[in-house]
């Protein structure tokens, strides 16, 4: 198999589960050494930790306990990548989702979601870019959401944070481009992950069926399908792609 990331060193935040886990697996299959950065090593879906799975199948991976809200965790993830040869790819995947009507959101809710989804992503990218700039190359893939492209009732704070990630990506591309660093936003739609199962009460209900009926491809996505978009963005196949958005939603946003 053509290895699109041979020799690359990637950090995937929130890499133990869901989209992050699928991304770490796919990156390793394509030759990257992967630093799985997460608050806990055990996947929410159950099963073997992804760093062990990758190592057991002949790939290179290491786990770093990392709360992206804390500078110590972010720095530890970059340091682990530097030990492997130097970070060249960051996938800013860690994030949280909270359901709540606009009139019901508390300041604590707002602060938590924005801290994890925006502030942490900003400073994680900053830490990675500081290591990339002297080498004159690198890629930052920021996981946004279709919620960052259009509003939705019941998740106003989440929409605000994911819209911020989209514009952060564009601004990063403008500023870091002269240093040879690309920045790309990936916008997943409705994805079958443990986080959605845990955090979105409508899963498995008629409301979910109605949502799926509005997707032109008539199904939800597997996390591996989002990972493929991240792989493209991180690889030389996207060597002239920066300050761009890749939407992975089965056509829903366009419909």
Q: Where are the alpha helices (DSSP H) in the chain?
A: 18-29, 50-56, 71-84, 107-114, 120-132, 156-176, 194-199, 206-213, 223-234
Task: Answer whether 248's CB lies under 8 Å from 226's CB.
Answer: yes
DSSP state string for 139-151:
EEEEE--GGGTS-
Exactly one of 110, 158, 170, 211 is catalytic; name it. Answer: 158
Backbone angles phi, psi at 120, to 5 degrees: -65, -40
User: Coil, strand or helix: which one is 9?
Assistant: strand
For residue 206, give every residue at least 6 positions away whose Cβ sits within 8 Å of its Cβ, in sequence order, or none. none
- Joined together, the tokens standing for residue 175 give 């500023």
Task: Please enumerate in sequence order all residues whose Cβ is within 8 A of that of 188, keeping only pairs 6 or more positions apart, or say none.
Answer: 19, 143, 145, 146, 221, 226, 248, 249
Please confirm, yes or no, whether 158 is among the known catalytic residues.
Answer: yes
What is the set of active-site residues? 158
């Amino acid at each position: 198999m053509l290895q699109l990331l041979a020799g690359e060193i990637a950090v995937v935040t929130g890499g133990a589960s869901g989209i992050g886990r699928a991304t770490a697996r796919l990156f390793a299959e394509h030759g990257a050494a992967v630093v799985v950065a997460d608050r806990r090593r055990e996947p929410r879906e159950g099963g073997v930790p992804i760093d062990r799975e990758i190592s057991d199948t002949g790939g290179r991976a290491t786990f770093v306990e990392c709360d992206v809200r804390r500078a110590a965790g972010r720095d530890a993830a970059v340091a682990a990548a530097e030990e492997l040869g130097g970070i060249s790819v960051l996938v800013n995947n860690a994030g949280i989702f909270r359901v709540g009507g606009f009139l019901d959101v508390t300041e604590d809710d707002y602060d938590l979601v924005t801290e994890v989804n925006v502030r942490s992503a900003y400073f994680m990218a900053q830490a990675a870019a500081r290591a990339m700039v002297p080498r004159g190359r690198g890629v930052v893939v920021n996981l946004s959401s279709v919620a960052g492209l259009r509003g939705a009732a019941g998740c106003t704070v989440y929409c605000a944070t994911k819209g911020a990630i989209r514009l952060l990506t564009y601004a990063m591309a403008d500023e870091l481009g002269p240093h040879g660093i690309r920045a790309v936003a990936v916008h997943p739609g409705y994805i079958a992950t443990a986080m959605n199962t845990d955090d979105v009460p409508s899963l498995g209900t008629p409301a979910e069926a109605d949502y799926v009926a509005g997707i032109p491809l008539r199904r939800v996505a597997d996390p591996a399908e989002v990972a493929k978009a991240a792989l493209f963005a991180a690889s030389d196949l996207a060597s002239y792609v920066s300050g761009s958005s890749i939407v992975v939603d089965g056509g829903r946003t366009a419909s």
